[in-house]
Amino acid sequence: MACVVYPGTFDPITCGHRDLVQRATSLFDKVIVAVAESPSKQPVFTIQERLEMAAQALADIAHVEVKSFDCLLVEFARQHNSWAILRGLRAVSDFDYEFQLAGMNRRLAADIETLFLTPADQFAYISSSLVREVAALGGDVSAFVHPAVEKALQDKID
């Protein structure tokens, strides 16, 4: 069974993330959304909150699992018998960083491939940090996130 790992902080998960997961399910038998603990990034939401939001936002997509991790990504992929890591590219500005990550992962585990997908046009400008900022300033984020995520953002701001 072909499995891909889609890692990220998902602070919070957005419709752009969901778009990539949905499309990845047509390419792989299983998609593992790997929520990184990432304490150095100082996420707004706890790991448990991010896991719950991702599970709710992806609940209707078959063959998707949501798990947390706090180890090397390539080790997580190996633990789950995955030969592939999925990364999203929204813009050319993402490429340099993603290229560096892919190179490091290849050096650490030459048997694990990194694959890139671009989001649908309507999600190309959405990022978790931008969604958090719009929500914090009282803007409507309902077009960018699942309703459960929108509520979690409102609860966090209040």
* Catalytic (active site) residue 17: yes
* Catalytic (active site) residue 106: no
* Catalytic (active site) residue 151: no
Among candidate residues 17, 18, 50, 87, the one labeled active-site is 17
Please state, in angstroms and rounded to a whole number, the distance separating the CA atoms of residues 57 and 20: 13
Please state, in angstroms and rounded to a whole number, the distance separating the CA atoms of residues 35 and 13: 10
* Catalytic (active site) residue 41: yes
Q: Is the dihedral of CA 68, 74, 77, 83 positive or negative?
A: positive
Among candidate residues 90, 106, 127, 156, the one labeled active-site is 90
Among candidate residues 18, 30, 87, 128, the one labeled active-site is 128
Please state, in angstroms and rounded to a whole number, the distance separating the CA atoms of residues 89 and 71: 23
Among candidate residues 41, 129, 142, 151, the one labeled active-site is 41
- One-letter amino acid at 93 equals S
| Catalytic residue list | 17, 41, 90, 128
